[in-house]
Amino acid sequence: MMKKAFVTKQQVEEIVKKYPTPFHIYDEKGIIENARAVKKAFEWNKGFREYFAVKATPNPVILDILKKEGCGFDCSSLTELMLSKAIGASGDLIMFSSNDTPAEEFVYTDKLGGIINFDDITLIEYAKEALGGRMPETVSCRYNPGGVFTMSNGIMDNPGDSKYGMTKEQLFESFRMLKDMGVKNFGIHAFLASNTVTNEYYPTLAGQLFELAVELEKETGADIKFINLSGGVGIPYTPDQTGNDIAEIGAGVKEQYEKILTPNGMGDVAIYTEMGRFMLGPYGALVTQAIHEKHIYKEYIGVDACAVNLMRPAMYGSYHHITVLGKEDAPLDHVYDVTGSLCENNDKFAIDRELPKIDMGDYLFIHDTGAHGFSMGYNYNGKLWSSELLLKEDGSVEMIRRAETPRDYFATFDNLPVYAELDSIMKEFE
């Protein structure tokens, strides 16, 4: 089976006349269609909202596209809050889910009117002090059931080893504390598995959280307004996987809702999601050019991108499918390691990958980098961040982040005497 690239070789040849490789490119049409499919899958719930995980793709143009489709934003840092505010998000369009949180981030979330999602019971008094002895009217708490999270198709993840969330006992105590502090509206949040490619995950998680919500309301008297299923709905990175059916997932959550919440007088509870990967992953790609080949104990293709542009394969051993543009129908009769130029042997986009014969100058389309792709970049070896481009619905291409330059890289040395010499050197390349 093959994955289909959303740009052609001919399109890339035109793009590189203005924007050289490597670059990340996003498919506006695909993003919009997917956002609408998610909204439709949960339209049965009056209060439904998708809070896009900003960490996945922190670009204001992408965020604005999603905001126009009714999405809010899941933030986890001060800069993500600032970015969300910059595109006009505030109030309940912002969910702040953080851990080991600096006081200033609670303060800024409160200033924006965003919803604080407490990761730990110890953060409650800490945040109250930071907020001048008061609490917002609406807050959420993050739950971790511990142990191993299983479904009918096996073990999905191990929450017991996760640093996130509270135990059940802490969750109940937190609700009581917050209620005593004047909180009026409560939410529950949980993230129990990552990148699941199964339609069972959200409905199974929902069933557990719905039962917990009923118990919490009865025992603490807290008014639960929303239940946040967080992320975890994944994408099929390998071509042999079948992707999630968001309509079926939404229907499965509805079934649990009507089975558990509605009969217990909680039929007005809003359902929230915080998907990053599902919302953006398939609609972004890293485009890079083959610039070297090496024939030693293995066959290597060197490209002009490296792990600083996409670190998931180096960090996790993650699979990202590769299409050699213009050779989609060619036989996969060569085996390559596709590498970058970092001084690290894990700087490989593919290992022992069956691909068509790659010639120097070929363009490689590395799939599914739309989430946790560009955003996980770094500067090791003095490598610079690439540009980000948007393939618009009308077929035109817009640069939505320029490529980093040496001047950007050296900017934080501007307080040192050496900066004058660096400035002189940089001018040679400008």
Instruction: Give me the pLDDT at residue 359, please.
Output: 98
**Which option is the CATH number for 28-280: 3.30.70.330, 3.30.565.10, 3.40.50.300, 3.20.20.10?**
3.20.20.10
Q: Which helix (H) or strand (E) holds 235?
A: none
The structure tokens listed for 331 are 């036989």
pTM, two decimal places: 0.95
Is it true that the peptide bond before 22 is cis, omega within 30 degrees of 0?
yes
Distance of CA 263 to the CA centre of its chain: 35
The domain defined by 282-412 folds into Lyase, Ornithine Decarboxylase; Chain A, domain 1 (2.40.37)
Average pLDDT by stretches of 10, the chain with 430 residues:
91 98 98 98 98 97 98 97 97 95 97 97 97 97 80 57 89 97 97 87 95 97 97 94 96 98 98 97 98 98 97 94 98 98 96 98 98 96 97 98 97 96 93
Residue 68, classified by CB atoms within 10 Å of its CB into exposed (0-12), middle (13-18) or buried (19+), is: exposed
Q: What pLDDT does residue 428 have?
A: 93
State both tokens at 278: 């599902």
Domain ranges of the chain: 28-280, 282-412
- Write out the two tokens for 363: 């363009």
Q: Which of 214, 143, 151 is nearest to 174 (CA)?
A: 143
Burial of 105 (0-12, 13-18, 19+ CB in 10 A): buried
Phi, psi values for residue 383, rounded to 5°:
-75, 150
